Amino acid sequence: MRAQAFSVQLPRHPLLRMLVLVGGAILLAGLVAMGLIVGAAALAVAATWLLVRRWIGRRRHPADPAIIEGEFTVVRRNSLPDTD
């Protein structure tokens, strides 16, 4: 595709051309500002979520060190190799 298919034709009148350019710049600045606000809000929510999880995690009782957690499989004795 040609690059001209994606270009915007500005009006010929100088005052209208300046108005379109200023409007585009304001729109671009607004989108950047909105992105920064949404990004800051997302960071604030994530930080709050991590702090709440850490705070709730400390209120639990510590795990018993004698208990081993994991996934285990039962191995039949006759399938083990001889240890002689």
Query: Could you read off the pLDDT tens digit of each residue along the chain, which spans 84 residues?
Result: 566 677 778 889 999 999 999 999 999 999 999 999 999 999 999 999 999 988 887 666 667 778 777 788 887 777 767 776
**Does residue 84 sit in helix, strand or coil?**
coil
**For residue 1, what is the DSSP state?**
-
For 20, other C-beta atoms within 10 Å of its C-beta total 14
DSSP string, 11-72: PSSHHHHHHHHHHHHHHHHHHHHHHHHHHHHHHHHHHHHHHHHHHHHHHSPPPPTT---S--
**What is the structure's pLDDT at 4?**
65
pTM > 0.75: no
